[in-house]
Amino acid sequence: MTTQAKPEETAAPGGSSSFLSVRDLSVRFRTEDGVVRAVDNLSFEVERGTTLGIVGESGSGKSVTNLAILGLHNPANSEITGSIKLAGQELVGAPNKELEKLRGHTMSMIFQDPLTALSPFHTIGAQIGETYRKHTGASKKEARDRSIEMLTKVGIPQPTTRVDDFPHQFSGGMRQRAMIAMSLVCDPALVIADEPTTALDVTVQAQILDLLKELQQEMGTAIILITHDLGVVAKTAKDIMVMYAGRAVERGTVREVLKAPQHPYTWGLLSSMPNLTGPVGVPLRPVRGTPPSLINLPTGCPFNPRCDHLEQVIGGKCTTERPPLAPEAGHATACHLSSGQKQEIFIDQIQPRLG
């Protein structure tokens, strides 16, 4: 790891003006079994008014990355290195008091499961209003009015009475809307949505995504959308980052990555998606094997035990050398295959499968 070049360090592709700029972020957890490298040398940018979709399997480091941005990891058992800059302000190592002021105000998070992520003991209005009062110093009355306004905005019917309801009196979709209202109450410049639609059925899912998009257009919010659903990303994001074993393996615009994916893992993800317009009865092709242990990663490319294209790489570099994410800007992959090979494999073998 130390011998490997870090191209991101020398030149930032998006320039230092990026609204959110994550550089060489590593998150490690000390556990009884050893050190878990949940995120390893990750760099990315998000601009205002755009959405970055982060996709990957469970345990690929998506959520850990974003909890690190908010500074929600327990410092007692985690070690965070690298740099996270939000509008120029360094967040790694920032005092907790500073982070408290930013959380919910400048950056906020929409959690995956709105039933467990909302407090069962406080009314929806209290939970939304509390954030507003904390960051703006508003009175109880003002906070309540603001809560009602936010509930109206996210499409909760009868917001003036619903504001006094408890989360258990809301349906799943309404809870997620309330969650969104809560995270947007201070007009944050960055919203991290951690699988915001996973717990919802598909029709509600579409509504929630549309809602996020509308709010983004209205307020110019930067959104990081964490998901393992490529369909969701295709619908909402501008850029995609595919993560595997705590690293970015492919990065580019939605069009680039979904229309012409270059990394074997992305191919695997796309092939494992059911195709509604394709012939019925064609079996899905899951990525074989299981995600590696983050305590003891395979040497070389961490994807090598699951990759079908090892033999095509000259010199067997896949098991000895970790491929860097290249090129520095634009559509990039971390794979030893040459770009010609990638092109060829994708067109010959992968594209026909995707239909």
Partner 1 sequence: MLRFLVRRSLGALVILLIISMVTFALFFAIPADPARLSCGKVCTPENLALIRHSMQLDQPVPLQFWHWFSGIFTGRDFGGAGYCNAPCFGYSYVKQEMITNTLIDRFPTTLSLTVGSAVIFLIFGIGTGMLAANKQGKPADKIASSASLIASSLQIYVAGPLALWALVYSTNWLQLPAYVPITQDPIGWFTGLLVPWLVLSLIWTANYTRMTRSSMVEQLSEDYVRTARAKGMSGRSVFLRYAWRGAMGTIVTVFGIDLGVLLGGAIITENTFGLQGLGQLSIDSIRQSDLSMMVGVTMVAATLIVVSNIVVDAAYALIDPRIRLA
Contacts with partner 1 by CB under 8 A lie at 70, 72, 76, 96, 100-105, 108-109, 111, 113, 116-122, 130-131, 134-135, 166, 168, 182-183
Whether 66 contacts 194, CB under 8 Å: yes
How far CA 109 is from CA of 179, 221, 274, 281, in Å, comes to 9, 12, 30, 40
Least distance in angstroms from the C-beta of 121 to partner 1 = 5
**Closer residue to partner 1 in complex, CB, 67/209:** 67
**Closer residue to partner 1 in complex, CB, 113/229:** 113
Least distance in angstroms from the C-beta of 24 to partner 1 = 24
The pair phi, psi for residue 53, each rounded to 5°, is -95, 130
**Closer residue to partner 1 in complex, CB, 45/194:** 194
**Closer residue to partner 1 in complex, CB, 102/211:** 102
Least distance in angstroms from the C-beta of 117 to partner 1 = 5
Which token pair is 159? 């917001």
The pair phi, psi for residue 48, each rounded to 5°, is -60, 140
Least distance in angstroms from the C-beta of 133 to partner 1 = 11
Task: Give the closest residue to 353 by CA, choosing from 267, 265, 264.
Answer: 267
Cβ partners under 8 Å of residue 133, min gap 6: 139, 140, 143
Task: Give the closest residue to 11 by CA, choosing from 327, 335, 322, 334.
Answer: 327
d(CA 248, CA 68): 16
**Closer residue to partner 1 in complex, CB, 56/129:** 129
**Closer residue to partner 1 in complex, CB, 45/130:** 130
d(CA 249, CA 252): 10
How far CA 311 is from CA of 323, 326, 328, 345, in Å, comes to 15, 21, 26, 13
Strands of the sheet containing 78-86, edge to edge, are 34-46, 20-31, 78-86, 89-90
Least distance in angstroms from the C-beta of 64 to partner 1 = 13
Least distance in angstroms from the C-beta of 63 to partner 1 = 11
Least distance in angstroms from the C-beta of 101 to partner 1 = 7
**Closer residue to partner 1 in complex, CB, 120/340:** 120
**Closer residue to partner 1 in complex, CB, 23/133:** 133
CB burial of residue 108 (10 Å; 0-12, 13-18, 19+)? buried
**Closer residue to partner 1 in complex, CB, 72/329:** 72
Which token pair is 18? 């990026």
Q: Are strands 89-90 and 332-333 parallel, antiparallel or unpaired?
A: unpaired
Least distance in angstroms from the C-beta of 142 to partner 1 = 17
Least distance in angstroms from the C-beta of 169 to partner 1 = 9
d(CA 30, CA 277): 46
